[in-house]
Amino acid sequence: MSKLQDQKSIRFPQGTVREYSWNILQIVLFAGALLVNLVIPSKHMVDLFPYRVVLGIFLLIFLVQIIVSFSNNNVKRKIQYSAQFYCALGVAFILWDLLTEKFNLLPLPFFPSLAQIIQVMVEDAATLLLSTGYSIRLLVIGFVIGLLLGLITGVLMGWYKKWHYWLFPGIKIIGVIPATAWIPIVMIIFPSSFYASIALIVISVWFPVAFMTSTGIANIPNSYFEAAKTLGAGEKFLIFKVGIPGAMPSIITGVYMATALAFTTLVVSEMIGAKAGLGWYINWAKGWSNYAKVYASIIIMAVVFSLLMALFFKIRDRLLIWQKGLLK
């Protein structure tokens, strides 16, 4: 085989460079962030190695993704879709590094460098992991109890007029009050801050789920129930096979609203009296003016909650698979 033939065999297909232009740019920007950190002297006393490792991991992942995308169209679509976001992230990394660690233009301790934040994550890994576990445990327990109460209450209000008459005014009054406003009362009623925090999360979840479940059942066309009755369906069948499935889009909306409220309530409740958790960690670090730890906790919180939301969307897509193609 001639030399010319060898050169043709390694040539990229026509249009490949244009297709991957944003992906190439994201690699250049993250390599630039690494170069900036390596070349320009630092003005802070910080261990730079963990930050450089993180940038190296990003670069390695980008390269592997591009190689895999040559044989997998799903991966190709995903990395091309997210490339512009990572380009912006690479620019943000460079600017943040220059403004903090390299030129010290943003004041400490309020604006620590990314290297300081990652160093804290490494040094405080055990405490942060324990705090994350406490927060997830508190969130799951409170959310599940609130969800069950909301579903039961919502079905009762949506199906029976007497339950609606007696329950709806109470939910309407309690539901419009932010859950955090109940802190002084739950701290008296419950024996520990743990149970008080669970009660606050339950309150924050209960109202939106109950209200949306009740509204969803009430909005189902009567023709659905009448058609089921003509086929001999009883009350139990009508509730569990027609009412709840028909109200599922509204229930999912209520659960989504409740999830956001539960996150907010979790963080606030952990800042008051809790002995562990990410909210407690933020409050403790703020007391020592260690804002690198505050940012580290916020980043972990964002990652954990994003993963939980991704799980929620997966479950939603599974439950509402019958809507696929009906909604834009």
* pLDDT at residue number 325: 58
Q: What's the burial of 91, exposed, middle or buried (CB within 10 Å: 0-12/13-18/19+)?
A: middle
Write out pLDDT tens, residues 285-305. 888 888 999 999 999 989 988
Residue 158 CA to residue 152 CA, distance in Å, equals 10
What is the average pLDDT across 172-198?
A: 83
* CA proximity to 149, closest of 235, 220, 214: 214
Q: Which residue has the tokens 């934040």?
A: 117
Say if CB 193 and CB 272 are below 8 A apart.
yes
Is 92's pLDDT higher than 90? Answer: yes
pLDDT at residue 140, rounded to an integer: 92
Say what percent of the chain tops pLDDT 70. Answer: 93
Alpha-carbon distance 175 to 265, whole Å? 14
In the chain, % helix, strand, coil (3-state, to 5) comes to 80, 0, 20
Cα dihedral sign, 255-257-263-268: negative
Tokens representing 129? 């992991």
pLDDT, tens digit (0-9, with 9 covering 90-100), for 60-73:
999 999 999 888 88
pLDDT score of 6 more than 70: no
Six-digit token string for 12: 């990229």
How far is it, in rounded angstroms, from Cα 197 to Cα 200?
Answer: 5
Task: Say if residue 13's pLDDT is above 60.
Answer: no
Name the pTM for this structure. 0.79
Tell whether the torsion through CA atoms of 13, 15, 17 and 19 is positive or negative: negative
Residue 45 — pLDDT band, cuts 50, 70, 90?
confident
Distance CA 205, CA 203 (A): 5
Average pLDDT over residues 69-78: 87
Q: Which of 219-223, 252-256, 319-323 has the lowest mean pLDDT?
A: 319-323
> If you average pLDDT over residues 242-266, what whole number do you get?
88
- pLDDT digit string (tens) for 104-134? 888 878 889 899 999 999 998 999 999 999 9
The residue-averaged pLDDT of 29-35 equals 93
Q: Give the pLDDT of residue 220.
A: 87
pLDDT at 4: 46
Residue with tokens 């994201």: 26
Which residues does 40 contact at the CB level (< 8 Å), separation at least 6?
98, 102
Average pLDDT over residues 93-104: 90
Neighbouring residues of 69: CB distance < 8 A, sequence distance ≥ 6: 75, 76, 79
Average pLDDT, the chain: 85
pLDDT, greater one: 159 or 107: 159
